Amino acid sequence: MEVKVLVVFVLSFLSCAPVEQHGKVIKVVDGDTFDIIEANTTTRIRLFGIDSPERGQAFNKRAKAFTDSLVAGKQIRIVVRNRDRYGRTVGDAYLADGTHVNAEIVKAGFAWQFTRYSTDPEIAAMERIARNKRLGLWQDDHAVPPWEFRKGKRQ
């Protein structure tokens, strides 16, 4: 009986441990999406809780360039949150020095906090500061959030 209890405890503990992926960034797709490679397997990563301008939106190229300057060719650790409907791994990305990539993009003004999925008060504060300092996309007085831009394209 004690062995069964121990097995259940260990399995429940392991299921709570965060799933991580590691790899080298080989391609930046846009401001919040990139590809990593590890052991000859390529994985598309969508950064959790943030949303950068879409292709066709103002600041899309600058957001992509910023993300590229931050992660391209670097080893990265992904704390996996889930998979999205497109099969991408969604998670938080960290550089070897511990830099939280998702936060850095928001802090530089190249992404919104995606409040549909994230209520992180630190990310919210970084967005407010970037807005107040008019960093990145916040230079545009009429910046349209990507989720509204996508909605408009569908209609």
Strand duo 33-38 + 75-83: pairing = unpaired
For residue 147, which of 112, 122, 119 has the smallest C-alpha distance?
Answer: 112
Is residue 119 within a helix (H) or strand (E), and if so which, with residue range? none
Task: DSSP for 68-86, please give it.
Answer: HHHHTT-EEEEEEEEE-TT
Q: Is residue 75 part of a domain?
A: yes
| Domain count for the chain | 1
Q: Is residue 89 part of a domain?
A: yes
Position 1 pLDDT exceeds 70: no
Q: Write down the mean pLDDT value for the chain.
A: 91
Q: Is residue 102 part of a domain?
A: yes
Q: What is the pLDDT of residue 5?
A: 41
Residue range of the domain that includes 149: 18-154
Q: Is residue 54 part of a domain?
A: yes
What residues act catalytically?
46, 54, 88
CATH number assigned to the domain comprising residue 117: 2.40.50.90
Q: What is the pLDDT of residue 151?
A: 86
Q: What is the pLDDT of residue 11?
A: 45
Which one-letter DSSP state was computed for residue 86? Answer: T
Q: What is the pLDDT of residue 18?
A: 83
Question: Rounded to whole angstroms, how far apart are CA atoms 20 and 43?
Answer: 12
Kindly report, residue by residue over 12-41, the tens digit of the pLDDT: 444 567 899 999 999 999 999 999 999 999
Q: What is the pLDDT of residue 2?
A: 55
Q: Is residue 3 part of a domain?
A: no
Per-residue pLDDT averaged across 75-86, rounded?
A: 96
Strand, helix or coil at 21? strand
Q: Is residue 133 part of a domain?
A: yes
Q: Is residue 69 part of a domain?
A: yes
Q: Is residue 128 part of a domain?
A: yes
Kindly report, residue by residue over 89-125, the tens digit of the pLDDT: 999 999 999 999 999 999 999 999 999 999 999 999 9
